[in-house]
């Protein structure tokens, strides 16, 4: 099942438009209600019908990936579900609750937003923040500050060890493979 999911998600990972410069809030012309808070203390399980700030974060991630636009209203309703269909439908062996958003799914959402280049200690900016969110969604402790410092390096090395990847502390090709869903634990 691990490899089937990998095969299903990798073409999607290559086709997903990347919005690297996604700001912490929606553009200045959008109403205040549409502001996005992309960083959460933890990335919880969500089900259709849920209403929460975490759903707003999910909706922002959907828009960042180019699967929207969806209204950022905190309601996991038909519009949000429809926008997720390309991600959900690309998986082989549908789980019993295909539209349930799990921490693994959050991890993949942020992994899909990473650039196709290596990030390493000393880098700064939105791409580093996205990496930090993916690591946090995986369950690692990391501050999401956009600075690829010693803490992010240590968290990434831990992530790499968990995936039997050489712990370089950089987002090399092998590491990006797992960040976009090349595994299923």
Inter-residue contact 84 to 47 (CB < 8 Å): no
Domains and CATH numbers, the chain: 2-20+43-179 (1.10.101.10)
> What SS3 string covers the chain?
CHHHHHHHHHHHHHHCCCCCCCCCCCCCCCCHHHCCCCCCCCCCCECCCCECHHHHHHHHHHHHCCCCCCCCCCECCHHHHHHHHHHHHCCCCCCCCCCCECHHHHHHHHHCCCCCCCCCCCCECHHHHHHHHHHHHHCCCCCCCCECCHHHHHHHHHHHHHCCCCCCCCCCHHHHHHHCCCCCC
Which residues, 6 or more positions from 65, have their beta carbon under 8 angstroms from its beta carbon? 16, 17, 18, 19, 109, 112, 113
The predicted pLDDT at position 132 comes to 97
The predicted pLDDT at position 91 comes to 59
pTM of the entire structure? 0.77
Q: Give the count of beta carbons closer than 10 Å to the beta carbon of residue 34.
A: 18
The predicted pLDDT at position 12 comes to 44
- Residue pLDDT tens, the chain, 185 long: 333 334 344 444 434 433 333 333 333 333 334 578 888 888 999 999 999 999 999 999 999 889 889 999 999 999 999 999 888 876 555 666 778 998 888 998 999 999 989 999 999 999 999 999 999 999 999 999 999 999 999 999 999 999 999 999 999 999 999 998 765 44
The predicted pLDDT at position 88 comes to 80
């Amino acid at each position: 099942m691990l490899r089937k999911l990998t095969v299903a998600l990798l073409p999607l990972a290559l086709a997903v438009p990347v919005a690297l410069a996604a700001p912490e809030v929606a553009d200045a012309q959008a109403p205040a209600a549409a502001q996005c808070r992309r960083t959460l203390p933890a990335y919880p399980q969500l089900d259709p019908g849920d209403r929460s700030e975490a759903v707003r974060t999910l909706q922002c991630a959907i828009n960042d990936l180019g699967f929207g636009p969806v209204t950022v209203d905190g309601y996991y309703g038909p519009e949000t579900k429809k926008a997720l269909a390309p991600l959900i439908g690309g998986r082989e062996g549908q789980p019993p609750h295909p539209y349930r958003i799990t921490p693994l799914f959050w991890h993949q959402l942020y992994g899909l937003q990473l650039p196709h280049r290596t990030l390493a200690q000393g880098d700064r900016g939105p791409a580093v923040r996205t990496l930090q969110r993916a690591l946090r969604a995986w369950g690692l402790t990391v501050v999401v500050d956009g600075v690829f410092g010693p803490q992010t390096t240590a968290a990434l090395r831990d992530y790499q060890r968990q995936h039997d990847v050489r712990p370089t502390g950089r987002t090399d090709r092998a590491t990006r493979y797992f960040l976009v869903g090349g595994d299923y634990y």
